[in-house]
């Protein structure tokens, strides 16, 4: 399994770099949308949908929402000339943050509160919209930041949030495997441990400190960025746990099988669904200061 994970990651990593750094804005937005739609197809299984027509219907709904958002906010128009994010996009990210607070409660209280949503296809479908749509908007927002002044500035922002998520994931995996003793949330994800979570937080902070060093970020800001990193990495763990909760509810081990060693698309981007919108919101707030 580990060998498959490494081989798949070795293929995905350069593809991610090409997508983030060398794809024009419109094409980037389109490809990001396709990834989200693959996630929507997998999420439809979390809703208990088995018929392909029903699953396609949910995926089409997500596609229509992404299309409507694209017409309202093409990727080139998400940022105002003043350098601030548009108010409507800010509202969506604030709503996304509120959703992840609710998601945290659902995960922590599972399975005690599951009766409130487990039998409702609509509620699980709405949860999918709140999880996936802001991810697409966040990727567009970060990628287009300061694009007129520096084409790769937004690409760097995306790589930072990916670095936080990936370093937290790697740190949690190896720390948990070697030192994990106390279960984090056994009813949601039996293999995750408190030690693994702490190891993931530590490695994500190390990643950001190293980035700050090479990016010549003033040392007076390192502690602030480290604190924000812990905040974002904690929510990335919630993104992972939320997907695990929905999979457990419908008896799935993986969300899909398209990525050997990883499972499905959602198994690869679950942490990012929480981390990217919250990272985008934090960045949007900082540029207003």
The DSSP letter of residue 218 is -
Predicted pLDDT at 83: 82
Residue 1 confidence (pLDDT): 57
pLDDT at site 3: 65
Q: How many CA atoms lie within 13 A of 267 on its CB side?
A: 17
Residue range 7-25: mean pLDDT, rounded: 86
pTM above 0.85, yes or no: yes
Q: What is the pLDDT of residues 208-231, one digit of tens each?
A: 999 999 999 999 999 999 999 999
Angle in degrees, CA 94, 95, 96, rounded to 5: 90
Which structural domain, as residue segments, surrounds residue 82? 2-286
Segment 93-122 mean pLDDT: 93
The larger pLDDT score, comparing residue 118 to residue 228, is at 228
Residue 267 has phi, psi (to 5 degrees) of -65, -25
Domain count, the chain: 1
């Amino acid at each position: 399994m580990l060998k498959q994970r490494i081989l798949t990651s070795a293929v995905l990593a350069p593809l991610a770099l090409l997508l983030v750094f060398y794809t024009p804005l419109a094409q980037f937005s389109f490809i990001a949308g396709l990834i989200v739609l693959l996630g929507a197809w997998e999420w439809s299984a979390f809703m208990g949908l088995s018929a392909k027509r029903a699953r396609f219907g949910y995926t089409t709904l997500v596609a229509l929402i992404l299309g409507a958002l694209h017409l309202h906010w093409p990727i080139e128009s998400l940022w105002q000339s003043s350098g601030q994010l548009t108010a409507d996009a800010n509202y969506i990210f604030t709503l996304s943050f509120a959703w992840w607070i609710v998601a945290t409660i659902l995960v922590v209280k599972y399975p005690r509160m599951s009766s409130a949503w487990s039998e409702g296809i609509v509620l699980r479908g709405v949860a999918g919209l709140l999880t996936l749509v802001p991810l697409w908007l966040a990727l567009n927002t970060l990628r287009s930041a300061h694009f007129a002044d520096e084409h790769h500035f937004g690409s760097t922002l995306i790589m930072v949030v990916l670095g936080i998520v990936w370093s937290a994931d790697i740190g949690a995996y190896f720390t948990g495997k070697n030192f994990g003793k106390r279960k984090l949330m056994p009813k949601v994800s039996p293999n995750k441990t408190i030690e693994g979570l702490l190891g993931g937080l530590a490695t994500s902070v190390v990643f950001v400190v190293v980035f700050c060093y090479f990016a010549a970020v003033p040392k007076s800001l390192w502690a602030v960025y480290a604190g924000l990193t812990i905040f974002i990495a904690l929510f990335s763990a919630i993104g992972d746990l939320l997907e695990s909760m929905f999979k457990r509810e419908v008896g799935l081990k993986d969300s899909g099988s398209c990525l050997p060693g990883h499972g499905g698309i959602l198994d690869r981007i679950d942490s990012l669904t929480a981390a990217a919108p919250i990272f985008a919101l934090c960045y949007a707030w900082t540029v207003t200061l």
